[in-house]
Structure formats: C-alpha cells, structure tokens
Amino acid sequence: MKVHELCCTDICKHFSHKKALDGATISFRTGSIHALLGENGAGKSTLAHIISGFITPTSGIISYDGAIISDSAAVGGISRGSASPKNFPRIFMVHQNPKLAEDFSVWQNALLAAQKDSLKPFRKKAFIAYLEKIRTDWNFALDLKRKINSLNDAERFYAALLCRLAGKPDFLILDEPVAVLDATQRQAFFDSLKRARQNALGIIYISHNLEETIKLCDYISILRKGVCKATLDNSGYDASEKEILQIMFGNALSEEHEQKQAQAENCGVASAVSLNCSAEEKNARQKVFAVKDIATSIKNKKNLSGVSFECCAGEITVIKGEKNGGIALLENILTGIDAPSYSGSIELCGQKLERVTPSVLRKSMVGIVSSKKYTISSSPNLTIKELLLPFAQNKGLVHSQKDADDAQKIVKSENIDISIDEPVLNLSGGMLQRLILARELAVKPKLLILADPLYGLDYKTVRYLQGRLAEAAAQGTSVLVLMTDADDGFTEYDCIFELKDGKLCKAEKTAKGTAYES
C-alpha cells in the first residue's frame, strides 16, 4: 500500500484582530488516523477548513507528496503550485453541523456531493447500489430514500458521512463526529474507521475526548494558540493524558486532572456536590420545577414512560442517557422546542404549565441552552452583539450604545478575544457555549435548563462551565442538566438520574461506583 503525505507548512490565518493560526506545521498520511487536539479556539477547525478548501490561509504552503498544491506566498491569495490538477488529493470534511438539502433524499444529497464539479450522466440504480455498498462497509443503518428533514441527529451525521464517502476521498476530516451517536453506534463507527485506515484512507480526527482519541488514533498533534506544539506517535495506543494536557494547557492543569482521576478511582465515583443530603434538608429547599408522569407514544421511537423528578432552588440536577434513547425527546418536551404530544404534567414554581413553550418559560425566568447550539441557541448569521442582546435586555435587536456596552460587558466577562460586530461563525464551539450560557445567566433565572453542555468543550472549559453553574446554584438558581453518554467529565451535581429504556432511575452512591435504581 503506497502511503501519500499531505504537508501543511507554516500555515497562518489572521482575522480582523486575532490570529487563529500562527505558523502551524503538520503532516498527515494516508492509511492512518491522525488526531488534532487543542483547547477551544486553538485553531483546529480553522486548520481543517483550510485543508479542505473552505477558507484560504493568510500565508503558508500545502503540499502533497512533495508537490505544492496551494501557495499563499503569491500576491492576492492562494495560487496553484507545482502539482497537476489530476494529482490533487480529494480532501472532504464532515462538519459538526452538516448542511444538507433538507427536502432532498439521502441519495439525492450524495449525488449532489459526488457530482458537484461534474455534469456527467448517472444511472440511478447503479448509484444507489454504490451507496448501499458504502453504507454496508461502514456498518450503519440508513434508508437512502428518506428525506433529510425526517432524520434524527445520528442519521443526519451518517447522511453527511455518506455524501463525503461517495466522492472517494483520499483524506476524510471528522470534526467531533461521535457526539450524536449512542455507545453502540460509537463503537461500530470506531471499528469502521480502523477498517478504512487499513484500506488507505487518511483520517483527520478532531475531538476533545482524550480517552477515545488515545485508543483510536495513530498520531496525535496538539495545537496551542495557533501553533502545533507537538505530534505524538501513538502507534502503541498508550499516549499519556497527563503529557497531552501539559502540552495543551501547561503543568498546573494537567496535574489537577491527574489528581481528579486519582480521587475518582479512590472514591469509586466522581465527586458530587451533595448527593447524600438528608431528607429534611431536601424538604426545606424550595421546589422550582416538578415533572410528573411524562409519557409519549410515538411510532418507531424509544418513548418516555412515567418520567418524574423535581428540581430545587440552589441545586444542580443531572439526567443522563443515550442520545437516541429518550434524552433528546425529554429535552424537546421540557424546553417546548419541537415538543411531541405527551401525557403528564409540568409545574414551575408551584404553577402547572398548561402549555410549555420557550416564550412561556422565558417569561417565567427560565434560561434555556439547547443541545442545538448552532441552530436554536444561536445562528451563524448573527453578530456576537445580536446573539447576546435579545434575552439580556429584552429589547430585541435595538442597536443603541447601551446595548453594545451590555454585549461588550458579557464578552469581556468571559475573557473572549472577539469583537461584538464579528459573526457568530468566527467563534469556536467552546467560546459559543460560554457566551450562550453567559447570556442566559445574565437575567438571573429561577431555572436553567442545559442540554449537552459539554459537547465540543476541552477539559479547561468544562471546569469553567461547572464553576459557573455552581455559582448560579449558590445564588439560588435551580440547574437542570440533560446530558448524553458521549459527554464526559461532568462531576459537580447534587442529584443524578439515568434515563434508560424510557424510564428514569435515580443514582445511588456506592463503594463500587454510581449505581442506578428505579
């Protein structure tokens, strides 16, 4: 098997007042899985977008097997180098939030992707058979005739993956690919990646899950402030988490991570704020949110069955479950966003809500951080100022100096280096999550509902987010966290439940770990 090499040399990307990349140099090879790690805002996605051709670098050279395929040294931007077009590698990226033609079927989207630069005729049956072979080889279930707008999150990911694989890539870039998959789907996907590597595909894998990355990837490159600080040979799948965190953040944070791991192992369970508070203490606290006997009956879904729980002021409650096992359904019901029909009742501060909608909740001082942070909690078409204003001041998009000052205060309080007039799409995932949370906390909500809060966050930002939630709880806010099994590292809570097979089980702290009972 011939190995091909893609080299990125001294890649820089400058935006209006910051450097996303500042001379990054990394090489990737076919037949391997190469991880890109780094804290939020380190430049991972920017580099991936440059490699795949979505954006052009400010400076730097990209070469393939020694032949230059792009060179920004020329005046006016990128120019083609010495490689002939037929020798250019096919580099495709599957984004965190893939943009697909919603009213088209899966196979029609794949056809658009495969024939993007060509008007060649095609044979429908042969093309669908080709897609079915790819689907079978990669071991995922997907009806190719279904429209995109009818798919769940996991199916949308598979559809986007199929579109890219249909183009026969030399390199495939995956940006946080498994966040929407349940445990079984994740393992099947990892097995498929290993087979694809053996078949000479080059895979560039962006993730924040160190444990999964170390088990999966052959090489690990670590970006810090736009520079590649190190590339580790992980052919033995035994890289040190401590070393990675040290390169990524510095000594203090890596040592803290090691101490937390030791504490968890010694205790047999991740630390919690107050899991063992007495019944008298519980009863003395103000009940803010009460969910009683929620049940659904949707065809071909893992339905909810008698889900009941309470959230009190000053407490953090966590409900954990598989992405497609009911946790997304519960989020829709509790936030009123795309909610299905259901039975049961929901009470807020002792008042039964006849109808749950985002508007009703916000009028009752409820903050909402959706799992769909790019499409519901925000939009890439907004500016930072527009993202922060509507709920902080209840003024809509009024462009006054006071509004701008208020938005600037939020950005400054989060220590994020970005102008309030820049678009949301310039934010990293971690920066966006922090600003959304800061926006919701600005109104001092009675209840804060967060879904998948750790998605796409590095270890440092996870610590920061948990600290912010602990502060909000200390000030009396009731915090409800809905999280999938893909989320890892959330340790600060008062009460934790597991949603399994549509039923809710409460966690009990034991010597051997966290056990769940009905």
Per-residue confidence at 326, pLDDT binned at 50, 70, 90?
Answer: confident
| Element holding 212 (H helix, E strand) | helix 210-216
Is residue 157 domain-resident? no
> Which residue in 492, 470, 493, 25 sits closest to 228, CA to CA?
25
Structure confidence by residue, pLDDT tens digits, 172-200: 999 989 878 888 899 999 999 999 999 99
Half-sphere exposure of 462 (CA within 13 A, CB side): 18
Whether residues 256 and 283 fall in one domain: no
Whether residue 101 contacts residue 107, with contact meaning beta carbons closer than 8 Å, is answered with no
- The answer to whether residues 388 and 501 belong to one domain is yes
Spatial separation of the C-alpha atoms in residues 301 and 114, rounded to whole Å: 32
Is the pLDDT at 362 greater than 70? The verdict is yes
Confidence of residue 117 (pLDDT cuts 50, 70, 90): low
Question: What mean pLDDT comes out for the span 269-286?
Answer: 48
CATH of the domain at 244: 3.40.50.300
The encoded tokens of residue 322 equal 């598989």
Torsion angles phi and psi, residue 403, rounded to 5: -60, -45
Q: State residue 116's pLDDT score.
A: 60
- Residues 360 and 287 grouped into a single domain: yes
Q: In the chain, how many H helices and how many E strands?
A: 15, 21
316 contacts 469 by C-beta, under 8 angstroms:
yes
Token pair 């970005």 is at which residue? 418
Length reported for the chain: 518
- Give the pLDDT score at 35: 97
Q: Which two tokens stand for residue 484?
A: 């999938």
Domain membership flag for residue 413: yes
Q: Would you state the pLDDT for residue 51?
A: 93
Whose structure tokens read 């749950």?
356
Q: d(Cα 447, Cα 442) in Å, to the nearest integer?
A: 13
Question: Beta strand 33-38 with 219-224: parallel, antiparallel or unpaired?
Answer: parallel
Beta bridge partners of 415: none
Report the C-alpha gap between 224 and 43 in whole angstroms: 8
Question: What is the share, in percent, of the chain residues with pLDDT greater than 70?
Answer: 83
| Same domain assignment for residues 473 and 404 | yes
Contact 306, 316 (CB under 8 A): no
Residue 371 lies in a domain: yes
What amino acid occupies position 156? R
Q: How confident is the model at residue 405 (pLDDT cuts 50, 70, 90)?
A: confident
**Owning domain of residue 36:** 1-89+217-266
Rounded CA separation 261/186 (Å): 23
Q: What pLDDT was estimated at residue 509? A: 46
454 lies in the same domain as 359: yes
Q: What is the mean pLDDT of residues 411-432?
A: 86
> How confident is the model over 252-257, as a mean pLDDT?
53
Q: Residue 352 has what pLDDT?
A: 95
Query: Which structure tokens are listed for 270?
Result: 């991740």
Residue range 336-353: mean pLDDT, rounded? 93
Band of pLDDT at residue 267, cut at 50, 70 and 90: very low
* Total domains in the fold of the chain: 2
